[in-house]
Structure 1
Amino acid sequence: MTSLNTALPGTEVGAERVAAFRRDGHTLTPGLLSGEELAHYRKAINDAAYRYNTEQRKLEERDTYGKAFLQVMNLWEQDEPVRGFTLAKRFGRIAANLLGVENVRLYHDQALFKEPGGGFTPWHQDQYYWPLDTDKTITMWMPLMDINEDMGMLTFASGSHRGGFAENIPISDESETSLQKYIRDKGFLVTRATTMQAGDATWHYGWTLHTAPGNNADVTREVMTIIFYADGAHVTEPQNKHQENDRQRWLSGLPVGSVAASPLNPLIL
């Protein structure tokens, strides 16, 4: 099996894709994993996600956020096989190229498994949760299986990243209603892929508004995500309780104003 520290042929990010990413706030890169790599890491991520999942409620007993997906975070911290995936230079190099920076740090990873019948993911901005002083943040979203629109395809409001912080609202029914109106009022084009192959990945800025429909298929949609940010970013004063929780957990409680470089935020390149 090839090392994830080496790019596969044909997966380098060219200038045209970089320009489109910075214009739209999102892009898709195909075929980032070989078949052998996919089989290996899909098993490792599934094993870890179900081992560390703490959600025991039935789907119908959960709120909108809980119905959207099973969310298991920072698998790399607990599972050595997943660590090789999350800290892969192959992914970090794409993140750095898209952002236009020399190096990126890890914020956290998370498995997002949308169960059969799982609900929609409300409109939101990832960076609502992150107390960082940079807009050079990016999320990689990779399905571990072939998916289509019926399974909860990630959907973007193109250009929305340029507006920065839209609403101080967490992922919820409230964010769905408020941000839908914001998107309509601003006239952002809403777009998504119709299909993605296992090992493809979308990338979006932390401020890019996005959502996903429910999963109407009879299988769980398996997705792994990794969040990166530009090396040299600083910790900002939390703007809500969720940012304070993130400061304590994903930034190891670093004080406001310090460089965001805790032991949980290793350099990738």
Structure 2
Amino acid sequence: MTELDSFPAPPPQSTRPELETDYTLSRSDIRHFAEHGFVKLKNVLSPETIEAYEPEITGKVIELNTQHLPLEERDTYGKALLQVTNLWQDSERVLEFVSSPRLARIAAQLLGVQSVRLYHDQALYKESGGGVTPWHADQYYWPFATDRCVTVWIPLQETPMEMGPLSFAAGSHTFEHGRDLPISDESERVLQEALAEQEFAEISEPFELGEVSYHLGWTFHHAPPNTTDIPRRVMTVIYVDAAMGISQPVNKNQEADLANWMPGNQPGETISSPLNPILY
């Protein structure tokens, strides 16, 4: 049995062929990603495709969510997000979305690698009244040997500034200060000051429907509160170089990620668990 045999096969004919077709990246898109550690891309998904998958994703978030405290009783991280991970394991419809060759091919092109595999997916829903998502870098949580990992951030609705779109510190993927900080009030305070001192421009813009962003694991980012009366619905997929090696975990979060998202794998090995199939 190969690693791919354990990953459920998508339906023979996708209900949305757009997920199977190529998206054309420009040289300036690839250059922007390399220089700034992120890129925003318009019209990656059509409104029809988003409309076809959003109800299933949202339904699974509601079904699988384990956060039931009122907003006012949560800590900063709890106020920022409802986070549900690996929805693809609970829904063939979500699997079809997460395993999209279109989205994976963009990731491979931006990373400059031949092939990418799935690390995991995450639905990140910011409720009405949800608070700030503090400054952080995702790779703090991931025991990876290189920086060839990227997240696609896919809003499932038009996302104005009032709804809390993702904001990036352009070029901060080269900045090592603060990489030891988990998402917290401290990371928001320390990184806000440090990134400003280094004059990393903060890029904070709304997202059109169908526009997505890709950012490297070490790119610092955050998001403002959602001051609207509508939840900010976002689906993400994290891709890694198919040849990614696993490093020795340096914190408890990385130990947990190794156990949860790469079961059976050990430091020094290449990622190859049944949860991490090659997508492109």
SS at structure 1 position matched to 2:233: strand
Please name the residue that 1:30 is paired with. Answer: 42
- CA distance in structure 1 between the aligned counterparts of 2:25 and 2:178, rounded to whole angstroms: 29
| Number of corresponding residues | 265
- CA distance in structure 2 between the aligned counterparts of 1:107 and 1:133, rounded to whole angstroms: 14
User: Which whole-Å deviations, capped at 9, do the CAs of 1:227-268 have from their partners, x for residues lacking one?
Assistant: 111111111100100000000001114111011121111101
Is 1:112 aligned to 2:115, yes or no? no
Q: What is the Cα deviation at residue 166 of structure 1?
A: 3.2
Question: Structure 1 residues 165, 261: CA separation in 2 closer, same or farther (over 3 Å shift)?
Answer: farther
Structural RMSD (CA): 1.1
- CA distance in structure 2 between the aligned counterparts of 1:16 and 1:198, rounded to whole angstroms: 22
- CA distance in structure 2 between the aligned counterparts of 1:247 and 1:165, rounded to whole angstroms: 24
- CA distance in structure 1 between the aligned counterparts of 2:69 and 2:183, rounded to whole angstroms: 19
Please name the residue that 1:48 is paired with. Answer: 60
* Ranges in structure 2 where 5+ consecutive residues have no aligned partner: 1-14
Give the alignment partner of residue 174 of structure 1, picking from 186, 190, 193.
186
Paired amino acid for 1:236: S
Q: What is the Cα deviation at residue 226 of structure 1?
A: 0.7
User: Which whole-Å deviations, capped at 9, do the CAs of 1:16-71 have from their partners, x for residues lacking one?
Assistant: 11001110111111112223211111111111111111111111110000000110
Aligned-residue sequence identity (percent) comes to 44
Give the alignment partner of residue 91 of structure 1, picking from 95, 103, 106.
103
Please name the residue that 2:262 is paired with. Answer: 251
SS at structure 2 position matched to 1:77: helix
- CA distance in structure 2 between the aligned counterparts of 1:39 and 1:259, rounded to whole angstroms: 37
- CA distance in structure 2 between the aligned counterparts of 1:75 and 1:164, rounded to whole angstroms: 32
Please name the residue that 1:6 is paired with. Answer: 21
SS at structure 2 position matched to 1:196: coil
Give the alignment partner of residue 225 of structure 1, picking from 233, 236, 258.
236
SS at structure 1 position matched to 2:174: helix
User: Which whole-Å deviations, capped at 9, do the CAs of 1:182-236 have from their partners, x for residues lacking one?
Assistant: 202221111122x212221011000000000000001101011111111111111
Please name the residue that 2:218 is paired with. Answer: 207
* Ranges in structure 1 where 5+ consecutive residues have no aligned partner: none
Question: Structure 1 residues 253, 244: CA separation in 2 closer, same or farther (over 3 Å shift)?
Answer: farther
- CA distance in structure 2 between the aligned counterparts of 1:13 and 1:220, rounded to whole angstroms: 30
Is 1:67 aligned to 2:66, yes or no? no
- CA distance in structure 1 between the aligned counterparts of 2:24 and 2:176, rounded to whole angstroms: 28
The two structures have a TM-score, normalised by structure 2, of 0.92
* Structure 1 segments of 4+ aligned residues over 4 angstroms from their partners: none
Is 1:235 aligned to 2:246, yes or no? yes
| Matched ranges for 1:114-193 at <5 A | 114-164=126-176, 166-193=178-205
